[in-house]
Copies of this chain bind each other. A is one copy, B any other.
């Protein structure tokens, strides 16, 4: 079933100990869409500038991502530059130029308004809510990402948007910040009162934890010998997660667990190369093979 993603499309300049790229396709919506495209048809809403060329677009089109909702505005595309430290566990933002993204106001094309699965990537919670208001019918599933900036500056708006969200996908710190509660299980109970009934806590190299009101599920990050660029790992996780769920059609405890595994699998591929490079060629066959390795990594018999 169709999966709608709304979020940033950007150009990134990335430096890691393994090399650097001066300009590569980036942004949460790009990573998400490319990751999810392995599982289900994806519709993208975002904004780019005049400098967004045919070959940039082709990266997305080749994965059959629907770009009817990709707005073109006069000016430059959102640009981000960052540098990772030697161990790639910290990064410094060198440049953030919002450009056309500063005035992003997501508009759903008519053909997107019935999307059953919706992912609201990290943008202003008011804009996230406007996406839901444009839907012709209530989506089957809405998942949302956010960040410290919105948690601090627009807490009331975020709370309002969370009322219409079933899955919140954030990291440990954001979970603690939204709830004012350090313990993640107790924090989840606060979140459940805000609307979402499922909290997915992304923990980077430590994997992810799902706290659902009926169960807990933990998935590790896939141990890799070579991590070339951590950029986009979390958005790729979200794309694999939501892409799988949209393809599964039904949301059950078992499909949610599999979604966690597929999210972690796709995230692990992303970081093997720079930017979206690995996602360009990733196949479902490769994903399924690595998912089997996840079974071996975690399965035991008592």
Stretch in A48-56, A138-146, A181-189 touching the partner:
A181-189
A203 / chain B contacts, CB cutoff of 8 Å: 206
Task: Check B217 against A223 for contact (C-beta < 8 Å).
Answer: no
Task: Check A301 against B206 for contact (C-beta < 8 Å).
Answer: no
A296 / chain B contacts, CB cutoff of 8 Å: 215-216
Stretch in A72-80, A100-108, A150-158, A253-261 touching the partner:
A253-261
Task: Check A254 against B297 for contact (C-beta < 8 Å).
Answer: no
Q: Given A298-B298, A302-B261, A186 and B220 touching (CB < 8 A)?
A: no
Q: Which residue of B lies closest to A185 (CB)?
A: B225
Q: Given A86-B182, A182-B86, A206-B203, A297 and B223 touching (CB < 8 A)?
A: no
A218 / chain B contacts, CB cutoff of 8 Å: 207, 220, 223, 297-298
Q: Does A209 contact B (CB under 8 A)?
A: yes
Write the nearest CB–CB distance from A186 to chain B, whole angstroms: 6
A226 / chain B contacts, CB cutoff of 8 Å: 183
Q: Given A254-B300, A291-B302, A300-B261, A220 and B209 touching (CB < 8 A)?
A: yes
Task: Check B186 against A225 for contact (C-beta < 8 Å).
Answer: yes
Q: Does A137 contact B (CB under 8 A)?
A: no
Interface residues on A, range: 35 or more
Q: Given A203-B206, A209-B220, A220-B220, A301 and B254 touching (CB < 8 A)?
A: yes
Task: Check B224 against A185 for contact (C-beta < 8 Å).
Answer: yes
Write the nearest CB–CB distance from A299 to chain B, whole angstroms: 7
The 8 Å CB contact of A184, one of B185, B215, B223, is B223
| A223 CA / B189 CA spacing, docked (Å) | 14
State the copy count for this chain. Answer: 2
Q: Does A87 contact B (CB under 8 A)?
A: yes
Task: Check B206 against A297 for contact (C-beta < 8 Å).
Answer: no
A227 / chain B contacts, CB cutoff of 8 Å: 183
A206 / chain B contacts, CB cutoff of 8 Å: 203, 206-207
| A186 CA / B224 CA spacing, docked (Å) | 9
| A299 CA / B297 CA spacing, docked (Å) | 11
Most chain B CB within a 10 A radius of its CB, from A185, A220, A258: A220
Q: List 8 additional A-B contacts (Cβ < 8 Å) besides A86-B182, A218-B297, A292-B302.
A: A183-B227, A209-B220, A216-B223, A217-B297, A217-B298, A257-B300, A261-B302, A295-B300
**A residues neighboring B (CB under 8 Å):** 86-87, 182-186, 203, 206-207, 209, 211, 215-220, 223-227, 254, 257-258, 260-261, 288, 291-292, 295-302
16 A–B pairs (Cβ distance < 8 Å), ordered by A: A87-B182, A185-B223, A185-B224, A206-B206, A211-B223, A216-B223, A217-B300, A218-B220, A218-B298, A219-B298, A257-B300, A258-B300, A258-B302, A261-B302, A292-B302, A298-B298
